[in-house]
């Protein structure tokens, strides 16, 4: 929300309308005082004008906020699917000879982070003997500059991970926003990554 230009535009528009309404209210109060002293026209004119002002203000508020609200319906961060695909990059090929999996996302969702973060992904096996964010042997992607459009992040699997294939344990995937000053070699678990300021955007579990 805070990095959304549309939100700030709507908020500034609301502040401007609020300031305008405050000026109108002040002017109307002065006119009412003059009427009480018999120094101004009929009060009915002011009441009608103030009614029209309120209608105008409500119309302007709707113009400011309705587009923003409609554009965000169903896009609450808790439910938004950042990971659109995950799993073997080349379906049908043997992972032992082509050991690459992928995490796919929409780069435009991270537009507001592009100056300070890069995108990356990891995958790992989770056996339940530690907290999930302390699982070892992370398989890591490279770091990628954020760009709009479909964003495929490949992860090359090492031999130790390939040796676990066929164990009937799924693979955990995590999409990451990594601060530009942080390198993938600096952390070995998600917990360590978060200590360096890495944001775990979303996780998923699936093959292989």
- Tens digits of residue pLDDT in 181-190: 999 999 999 9
Tokens of 147: 């760009």
Higher pLDDT among residues 168 and 49, named by residue: 168
Please give the angle made by the CA atoms of 126, 128 and 130, to the nearest 5 degrees. Answer: 95
Please tell me whether residue 179 adopts helix, strand or coil conformation: strand
State residue 75's pLDDT score: 42
Q: What is the pTM of this model?
A: 0.63
Q: Would the pLDDT of 61 be above 80?
A: no
- Tens digits of residue pLDDT in 89-101: 987 778 888 899 9
Q: Name the band, by pLDDT with cuts 50, 70 and 90, for residue 44.
A: very low
* Average of per-residue pLDDT values in the chain: 81
Burial 109-130 (b: 16+ CB within 10 A, else e): bbeebeeebbbbbbbbbbeeee
Tokens of 184: 């993938």
């Amino acid at each position: 929300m805070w990095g959304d230009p549309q939100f700030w535009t709507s908020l500034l528009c609301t502040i401007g309308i609020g300031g305008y309404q405050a000026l109108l209210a002040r002017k109307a109060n002065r006119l009412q005082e003059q009427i009480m002293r018999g120094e101004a026209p009929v009060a009915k004119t002011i009441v009608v004008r103030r009614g029209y002002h309120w209608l105008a203000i409500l119309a302007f508020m709707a113009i400011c906020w309705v587009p923003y609200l409609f554009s965000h319906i169903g896009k609450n961060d808790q439910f938004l699917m950042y990971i659109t695909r995950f799993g073997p990059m080349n379906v049908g090929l043997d992972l032992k000879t082509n050991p690459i999996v992928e995490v796919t996302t929409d780069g435009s969702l991270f537009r507001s982070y592009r100056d300070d973060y890069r995108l990356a992904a990891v995958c790992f096996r989770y056996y339940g003997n530690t907290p999930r964010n302390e699982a070892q042997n992370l398989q890591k992607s490279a770091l990628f500059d954020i760009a709009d459009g479909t964003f495929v992040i490949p992860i090359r699997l090492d031999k130790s991970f390939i040796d676990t294939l066929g164990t009937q344990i799924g693979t955990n995937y995590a999409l990451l926003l990594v601060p530009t000053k942080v390198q993938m070699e600096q952390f070995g678990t998600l917990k360590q990554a978060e200590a360096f300021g890495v944001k775990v955007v979303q996780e998923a579990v699936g093959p292989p």
